[in-house]
Amino acid sequence: MIINQSECFFDNGDLVVLGVRFEIPYVNSGKEVRGIEQQWVSQLIDSRIAAPHSVVYDEFGKPGISPGSTRLSISHTGGFVAIALAQTFNPGIDVERTREKIRNIAARVFNQEELANARSHADELRALQILWGAKEALYKSYGKKALDFIEHIRVDSFSDVDEHLAATVKTDQFSARYTLSVVTPEINYYLVFVTGCEEEPLNEPV
């Protein structure tokens, strides 16, 4: 197993985003790969939290750090592991590799405005991957499941060069505006993570 040094992709004192890329020999089983990923998650967390701690999960399956108030989000794909640690809001993070199959599911997870925006990009596949990463990160940040990617999550239009996104998550019981950032840690890898959340008042019934 060839290991690259872990990197810090974001740190503003409230939110820290860490990741590491590693090569896995093809002989490793899926179970072994998951074990390696879990080891890296632990090492990334340990690099920022020195006190004894453990990863715990709430009733919705969202991870966190115990003891303490640090909140956690985890993502991994194809030899890349990333985590987000936040103090004042629920983080959400997603790392993806470029995959053509995103085109096959695009109409089932993106609304018409999002699809039109992606098609306007010089690299439509990149735009679709970023949209997918944003929706996954928002889903994790919301943390209570039961979100429909088209009905409840809307990502504002963005350009080919934008590194920051804005989005809305809205249900009958919740409404919030989110900011997100996009990082390309390696060619064909996209890291999208929530950088802030501001809840909005719900509309009063007429």
The per-residue pLDDT for 206 is 38
Looking at residue 161, its amino acid is V
SS (H, E, C) 169-190: EECCCCEEEEEEEEECCCCCEE
CB 1 within 8 A of CB 77: no
The model's confidence at residue 204, banded by pLDDT at 50, 70 and 90, is: low
d(CA 120, CA 98) in angstroms, rounded, equals 18
- DSSP class of residue 61 equals -
Tens-digit pLDDT profile for residues 110-124: 999 999 999 999 999
pLDDT tens, position by position, 41-52: 999 999 999 899
Confidence (pLDDT) at 116: 98
With beta carbons less than 8 A apart as the criterion, state whether 33 and 24 touch: yes
Proportion of the chain above pLDDT 70, given as a percent:
95
Whether residue 102 contacts residue 127, with contact meaning beta carbons closer than 8 Å, is answered with: no
Per-residue CA distances from 70 to 14, 89, 90, 188 (Å): 10, 9, 9, 31
Comparing 14-28, 61-75, 87-101, 156-170, the range with the smallest average pLDDT is: 14-28
What's the confidence (pLDDT) of residue 199? 93
Contacts of 107 (CB under 8 A, 6+ apart): 115
Q: How far is CA 57 from the centre of its chain?
A: 17
Q: pTM for this structure? A: 0.92
Give the separation between CA 155 and CA 178, rounded to whole angstroms: 9
The answer to whether the Cα torsion of 128, 10, 40, 85 is positive or negative is negative
CB-based burial, 13-42: b 16+ in 10 Å, e otherwise: eebbbbbbbeeeeeeeeeeeeeebbeebbe
State the pairing for strand pair 153-155/164-170: antiparallel
Distance of CA 188 to the CA centre of its chain: 16
Q: Is the pLDDT of residue 157 over 80?
A: yes
The structural domains of the chain, with segments of one domain joined by +, span 2-93, 98-136+146-178+192-199
Residue with the bigger pLDDT between 177 and 187: it is: 177
Q: Residue 20 has what pLDDT?
A: 94
Mean pLDDT of the chain: 91
Q: Please check the confidence at residue 54 and state whether its pLDDT lies above 80.
A: yes
